[in-house]
Amino acid sequence: MIIVLKPNPAPGVVEHVLERIHALGLTPHLSQGVSRTIIGVIGDEDKLQVQPLQAIAGVEKVVPILRPFKLASREFHPEPSVVDIKGIKIGGGHLAVIAGPCAIEGEELLFEVARRVKRAGANILRGGAFKPRTSPYSFQGMGKEGLQLLRAAGDELGMPVVTEVMDPRQVEVVERYADILQIGARNMQNFDLLKECGRTRHPVLLKRGLSATVKDLLMSAEYVMSEGNWQVILCERGIRTFEDSTRNTLDLSMVPNVQGQSHLPIIVDPSHATGRPELIPAMAKAAIAAGADGVHVEVHGCPEKALSDGPQALVPDQFDRLMDELRPLARLLGRTIDVCNAQTKEPAACAPAPC
């Protein structure tokens, strides 16, 4: 439910409406523009329907939000939201370029890849410390040691860092080291995890589940937002279909589809979607053309030796070429790729190691 106040309401009117909402056991969300003020209300809407809130002096109208996702909806927040992570903006015409290895395998590899992607133009560093794997015998990540390495690399290069959190019990340690908490496709409907991440004030990168609809994804975002954390970034990473020539099927129609329904920024992960490095550049460019607020690309110094998802990673030289192609496309579409403020250190170790 949205309560729209008349233009330029007196402070007493706003306070009175907020008091009435609290008295009903509902949660208000105040949004004040230059001349208009709206109050979003979350809770049992039946309570609102029997209350004469529209009769309060200063209230113009009371409008129901018909979508099941209230806080994430365009009705509640008409303008696109922008998430700011240490000066790197996502949404509102700002593009995130998230790049790095699928898994953190060690200091040398991580720092080598981090320096290369930063130099190429990436503005957020990714790396997995906890890895959800199909087989329990596969590499499961370096855990806390990996988080410490990722933080060190981000600090050296002045880049925000993102890593996946798999369990509510991991949130406390992950948020100490990461700037963005990633919730992977397999955990998109892990509601306890969503709520725990919502209680933090860290931005949350929420990936679409393997068989999830757009509504499913936005309802998961609603879980995070309902706990008070509005910094949610959605991610399309491919869905499971009968097609078997790619790892998943990249649903690019989802980008404008989501943007028509929600104010949340949305990025695309062509690495997990295709599973084929030769398809990643085309799909990354197509994602930006479709209106995505960024891309999420896996880069590894030697994919054939990678401990996780090596076949879908670009090597640094390929990522360099991709960035050379993304920049003019972004300019053509009136989008900007924010640059990290800190200067990259360029020691001799920055040169690619032999594979």
Q: Is 146 inside any structural domain?
A: yes
Picking from 17, 32, 63, the residue at the C-terminal end of a domain is: 63
| Distance from C-alpha of 261 to C-alpha of 189, rounded to nearest angstrom | 20
Q: Do 48 and 166 belong together in one domain?
A: no
- For residue 345, the model assigns a pLDDT of 47
* Cβ within 8 Å of residue 285, ≥6 positions away: 325, 326, 329
Q: Is 70 inside any structural domain?
A: no
Q: Do 11 and 120 belong together in one domain?
A: no
Q: Do 305 and 169 belong together in one domain?
A: yes
Task: Tell me the CB-side half-sphere exposure of residue 70, using CA atoms within 13 A.
Answer: 19
Q: Which long-range contacts (CB under 8 A, 24 or more apart) does 324-333 make?
A: 325/281, 325/285, 326/97, 326/121, 326/284, 326/285, 326/288, 326/295, 327/121, 329/285, 329/288, 329/289, 330/95, 330/288, 333/288, 333/289
CB 248 within 8 A of CB 219: no
Q: Do 124 and 18 belong together in one domain?
A: no
pLDDT band at 140 (very low <50, low <70, confident <90, very high): low
Tokens of 230: 């509005």
Q: Is 107 inside any structural domain?
A: yes
User: For 108-117, 137-146, 152-161, which range has the lowest pLDDT when averaged over its residues?
Assistant: 137-146
Q: What is the CA radius of gyration of the chain?
A: 22
Q: Do 53 and 109 belong together in one domain?
A: no
- For residue 348, the model assigns a pLDDT of 34
Q: What is the pLDDT of residues 2-58, one digit of tens each?
A: 888 888 888 788 888 888 888 888 888 887 776 778 888 887 766 666 567 778 788
Q: Do 9 and 156 belong together in one domain?
A: no
**CATH number, position 21:** 3.30.70.1140
Picking from 32, 63, 94, the residue at the C-terminal end of a domain is: 63
Q: Is 170 inside any structural domain?
A: yes
Cα 179 off chain centre by? 11
Q: Is 77 inside any structural domain?
A: no
Q: Do 215 and 272 belong together in one domain?
A: yes
Q: Is 204 inside any structural domain?
A: yes
CB 285 within 8 A of CB 335: no
pLDDT band at 131 (very low <50, low <70, confident <90, very high): confident
- For residue 167, the model assigns a pLDDT of 94
Q: Is 7 inside any structural domain?
A: yes
What total of structural domains would you count in the chain? Answer: 2
Look at residue 288 and tell me whether its pLDDT is greater than 80: yes
**CATH number, position 204:** 3.20.20.70
What sections of 121-213 are H helices per DSSP?
144-157, 171-177, 191-198
Q: End-to-end CA distance of the chain, in Å?
A: 58
Q: Do 214 and 252 belong together in one domain?
A: yes
Q: Do 25 and 150 belong together in one domain?
A: no
Q: Do 108 and 37 belong together in one domain?
A: no
Given CA atoms 128, 129, 132, 136 in this order, what sign does their dihedral have?
Answer: positive
Q: Do 97 and 177 belong together in one domain?
A: yes
**Degrees, nearest 5: CA angle 338-235-95:** 15
Q: Do 35 and 176 belong together in one domain?
A: no
Secondary structure element (H or E) that encloses residue 162, with its range: strand 161-164
| Distance from C-alpha of 205 to C-alpha of 232, rounded to nearest angstrom | 6
pLDDT band at 255 (very low <50, low <70, confident <90, very high): very high
The model carries a pTM of 0.87
Tokens of 318: 């390929």
Q: Is 75 inside any structural domain?
A: no
Domain extent at residue 16: 2-63
